[in-house]
Amino acid sequence: MQNEWWRGAVIYQVYPRSFKDSNDDGIGDIKGITEKLPYLKSLGIQAIWVSPFFKSPMKDFGYDISDYREIDPMFGNMADFDELISKAHASNIKIIIDQVFSHTSDQHEWFKESRASKDNAKADWYVWADAKDDGTPPNNWLSIFGGVAWQWDSTRCQYYLHNFLSEQPDLNFHNEDVQKEVLANVKFWLDKGVDGFRLDAFNFCFHDKQLRDNPPKPLEARTGRGYAPDNPYAFQYHYFNNTQPEMLPFIEQLRKLFDQYENITTLAELNSEDSLGTMAEYSGPTRLHMSYSFELAADEYSAEHIRNTVEEFEKRVTDGYPCWAFSNHDVARVMTRWIGADAPASAAKMLNTLLLSLRGSVCVFQGQELGLQEAEVAFEDLQDPFGIAFWPKFKGRDGCRTPMPWSYTRNGAFTSQHMKPWLPVYEPHLMQSVESQEAIADSVLNHFRTFMAWRATVPALSLGSIEMIHGLKEPILAFWRRHSSGDVLCVFNLRGNVENVHVEGQDLTLEPYGYLVEGGTSD
């Protein structure tokens, strides 16, 4: 299993801008991550997923890359990153980095050359198309961030495709030179010693070469992340601007490259019309190791939804491996999204235990181990272009990205007390700071550590199969984790009322947000 360390691993997502500022400029950095490695080690995690730290104009805060092989100075330099890898490995922690394949920044040298003319060496490296006879865009595709997905360029007198911001032009993966260069960039970081890649918006790499219109979506079907009814992106089935069949040969090329190195893993973010189907298609022995979608990072919260999602994955994704997440840098924190603004600490303990008890690997977003709620960010403090565009109905992603609270002091020791951080530290988070919780034996943080330590000794929780228990009424979710060393029974009360339940021959009384995880034989 050493070569498959990622099976059942707990991966901690660090959003560098907001984790720890080591040089008091108000922005988190790589040295800040290195400084906090002892804390991360104390959590019992196996890997850190580091969100983008590459050179970027930061229109989308690093997901608009202008140089895949350079570190943006605001985060440090290559020596800092080398030190992070070295010290993380010394602590037996793997490093997974974000890669954005589908698009670049419009400040990338590739795009500057591509837009210069229609006949230069990189003219076909991006998705360019002529206008219709009336000057309108070539088809009806829309951007996730609102509005049409085509931007007119007056130099080439053509439109270019952008599934996200207009400053994030889409690469043309139908061009084999683009694929080769992307693979070369991956190899660069593999040679630097990274242990894996989280692949952002991965199914957006290829587009329909015929540029066919997406069909309309009825009102009742306009649900899901980024598909709020007030966002026009929700008005279409996105059959042609992503998730194309040409993706599969490229994935197999990518896997062949990964297999030249030891102990590498891949984790792809997938968001398609049939995300579980895409996960099944993209995963397997010759494709991706793992993938995740937003089924459990969505608004829907019920025992039925979680049970159905897990069972549907187990049925459809036979060769792949799951990675579950309740929160990340793109969605409201799970405590607020699922429980509410006044969610108690007991709910955080229950949700963390539930996540860590599911079959598969787990992504924990920074601050989730503290039970942090979604921060309120005033309009004048917003940084996220998505939130600014759709305010006030949708407040964007800044509320989950506010700085990590390390102590109960001004700015939470994220940065110095006199410095203004890039996003305000949310005052209510200070009472939940690491320093505050470490002094309380039964805090959310210490509960997380205790459960993680026990989980590491019980093979059923990290490597066992899963078997959902049916016939229970809301809000009770129950399942078995099965393993030859011993089975574990998991029962969760998802709501804030006392629940009496008969499950597997036991009569249980579960307190509000209570749970039972018992059984198994420790290693």
CATH code at 133? 3.90.400.10
Residues 25 and 123 reside in one and the same domain? no
The residue assigned the tokens 């579960």 is 510
Instruction: Answer yes or no: is 250 within a domain.
Output: no
Beta partners for residue 490, in sequence order? 479, 517
Instruction: Answer yes or no: is 253 within a domain.
Output: no
Q: Is 148 helix (H, G, I), strand (E, B) or coil?
A: strand
Residues 387 and 482 reside in one and the same domain? no
Give the range of the structural domain holding residue 481, as residue numbers without chain letter: 464-519
Active site residue 427: no
Sheet holding 158-161, edge to edge: 128-129, 158-161, 150-153
Residues 311 and 381 reside in one and the same domain? yes
Residues 279 and 351 reside in one and the same domain? yes
Q: How many domains does the chain have?
A: 3
284: phi > 0 → left, psi -120 to 50 → alpha, else beta; which? left
Long-range Cβ pairs for the range 142-148 (8 Å, 24+): 142/214, 142/232, 142/233, 142/235, 142/236, 143/233, 144/226, 144/231, 144/233, 145/385, 145/386, 145/389, 146/231, 146/232, 146/233, 146/386, 146/389, 146/390, 147/232
Cα atoms in the 13 Å half-sphere on the side-chain side of 474: 8
C-alpha closest to that of 510 among 338, 349, 326: 349
Residue pair 207/127 in contact (Cβ under 8 Å)? The answer is yes
Last residue of a domain, one of 453, 479, 508: 453
Which helix or strand (DSSP H or E) is residue 256 part of? helix 247-258
**What's the CA gap between 512 and 499, in Å, rounded?**
7
Instruction: Answer yes or no: is 397 within a domain.
Output: yes
Q: Which one is catalytic: 29, 106, 269, 330?
A: 269
Tokens, residue 153:
């360029």
* Per-residue model confidence (pLDDT) at position 203: 97
Residues 146 and 281 reside in one and the same domain? no
Instruction: Answer yes or no: is 254 within a domain.
Output: no
Last residue of a domain, one of 453, 473, 493: 453
C-alpha closest to that of 476 among 462, 453, 493, 461: 493
User: For residue 502, which phi and psi values (nearest 5 degrees)?
Assistant: -105, 115
**What's the CA gap between 333 and 367, in Å, rounded?**
9
* Per-residue model confidence (pLDDT) at position 229: 56
Residues 118 and 64 reside in one and the same domain? no
CATH code of 487's domain: 2.60.40.1180
Instruction: Answer yes or no: is 246 within a domain.
Output: no
Last residue of a domain, one of 415, 432, 453: 453
Q: What is the CA radius of gyration of the chain?
A: 23
Residues 168 and 317 reside in one and the same domain? no
Residue pair 10/356 in contact (Cβ under 8 Å)? The answer is yes
Residues 225 and 81 reside in one and the same domain? no
* Per-residue model confidence (pLDDT) at position 393: 85
Instruction: Answer yes or no: is 310 within a domain.
Output: yes
Residues 127 and 236 reside in one and the same domain? yes
**What's the CA gap between 34 and 219, in Å, rounded?**
48
* Per-residue model confidence (pLDDT) at position 521: 63
Which helix or strand (DSSP H or E) is residue 509 part of? strand 506-510
**What's the CA gap between 163 and 141, in Å, rounded?**
8
Instruction: Answer yes or no: is 255 within a domain.
Output: no
Which helix or strand (DSSP H or E) is residue 468 part of? strand 465-468
* Per-residue model confidence (pLDDT) at position 522: 47
Residue pair 144/162 in contact (Cβ under 8 Å)? The answer is no
Q: How many residues are given for the chain?
A: 523
**What's the CA gap between 504 and 478, in Å, rounded?**
10
Q: What is the dihedral of CA 74, 79, 80, 83, to 10 degrees?
A: 170
Instruction: Answer yes or no: is 376 within a domain.
Output: yes
* Per-residue model confidence (pLDDT) at position 523: 43
Residues 276 and 364 reside in one and the same domain? yes
* Per-residue model confidence (pLDDT) at position 1: 44
Which of 108-141 are b and which e, b meaning 16 or more Cβ less than 10 Å from the residue's Cβ? bebbeebbeeeeeebbbbbbbeeeeeeeebbbbb
Q: What is the maximal distance between C-alpha atoms in the chain?
A: 74
* Per-residue model confidence (pLDDT) at position 318: 84
**What's the CA gap between 368 and 349, in Å, rounded?**
10
Q: In this structure, which amino acid lies at residue 239? A: Y
Residues 298 and 356 reside in one and the same domain? yes
Count the Cβ atoms, other than its own, within 10 Å of residue 80: 18
Tokens, residue 419:
């410095």
Active site residue 200: yes
**What's the CA gap between 93 and 45, in Å, rounded?**
7
**DSSP H helical segments within 259-302, as ranges?**
275-282
Q: Which one is catalytic: 200, 208, 281, 374?
A: 200
The residue assigned the tokens 């805090």 is 443
Low-confidence ranges of the chain (pLDDT < 70): 1-2, 224-229, 521-523
Residues 468 and 422 reside in one and the same domain? no
DSSP for residue 337: I
